Chain A
Amino acid sequence: MVQAIEATGIFKSFGSTKALEDISFSVNESEIFGFIGPDGSGKTTLFRTITTLLLPDKGRMKVLGMDVIKDYKELRKNIGYMPGRFSLYQDLSVEENLNFYATVFGTTVEENYDLISDIYSHIEPFKKRLTGKLSGGMKQKLALSCALIHKPRLLVLDEPTTGVDAVSRSEFWDMLGKLRQYNITIIVSTPYMDEAIRCDRVGLIQNGKILSIDTPQKIKEGFSRKLFTVKASEKYKLILSLRKNPGILTAYPFGDSIHVTLADESADRTLLNYLKNDGIDDAVIQEAEAGIEDRFLELMEIE
Chain B
Amino acid sequence: MEKVQEKVIIAHDLVKKFGTFVANDNLNFEVYAGEIFGFLGANGAGKTTTIRILSGLSKPTSGEVKVAGFDAYHQTEQIKKNIGYMCQKFSLYEDLTVKENIVLYGGIYGMSRTLISERLRELLEKLHFEEYENRMISDLPLGLRQKLAFSVAILHNPKIVFLDEPTGGVDPITRRQFWESIYETASRGITVFVTTHYMDEAEYCDRISIMSDGKIVALDTPAELKKQYNSKSIDEVFIKIARPATQGSPPLGGLGGRN
Contact = CB atoms under 8 A, between A and B. Distances in A.
A135 B43 contact: yes
Interface in A152-205: 162-170, 191-194
A85 B89 CA distance: 13
A39 B142 contact: yes
B45 to A, nearest CB: 8
Nearest to A294: B172
B25 interface: no
A223 B222 CA distance: 27
Interface residues of B, number: 43
Interface string A269-303: 00000000000000000000000010011001000
Among A40, A135, A164, A194, chain B packs the most CB atoms within 10 A around the CB of A135
A166 B242 contact: yes
Interface string A110-135: 00000000000000011000001111
A255 B249 contact: no
A41 B238 CA distance: 29
A193 B172 contact: yes
A39 B187 contact: no
B244 A256 contact: no
B253 interface: yes
Contacts, number: 113
Contacts of A254: 203
A40 B144 CA distance: 13
A114 to B, nearest CB: 23
Among A163, A170, A235, A252, chain B packs the most CB atoms within 10 A around the CB of A163
A42 B239 CA distance: 31
B121 interface: no
B183 A192 contact: no
B72 interface: no
Interface string B131-171: 00000000001100000000000000000000000001111
The SS class assigned to the B binding surface is loop
Nearest to A231: B223
Given A86-B259, A166-B238, A167-B243, A137 B43 contact: yes
A169 B259 CA distance: 15
A239 interface: yes
B200 A300 contact: no
A207 B11 CA distance: 44
A296 B174 CA distance: 12
A139 interface: yes
A136 interface: yes
A39 B141 CA distance: 10
B244 A167 contact: yes
B228 interface: no
Among A40, A134, A239, A255, chain B packs the most CB atoms within 10 A around the CB of A255
Interface in B160-206: 168-174, 176, 179-180, 183-184, 186-187, 197-200, 203-204
A247 interface: no
Q: Which 4 A-B pairs have the closest CB atoms?
A: A255-B203, A163-B258, A39-B169, A236-B183
Given A162-B169, A163-B197, 13 more contacts: A38-B169, A40-B141, A133-B253, A136-B257, A137-B43, A138-B247, A165-B43, A191-B169, A236-B180, A236-B186, A236-B187, A239-B180, A255-B222
27 contacts: A37-B171, A38-B170, A38-B174, A40-B142, A134-B249, A135-B43, A135-B245, A135-B247, A135-B257, A136-B258, A137-B244, A162-B258, A163-B258, A165-B242, A166-B42, A166-B199, A166-B242, A167-B238, A191-B168, A191-B169, A236-B183, A236-B184, A253-B176, A254-B203, A255-B200, A256-B223, A300-B173
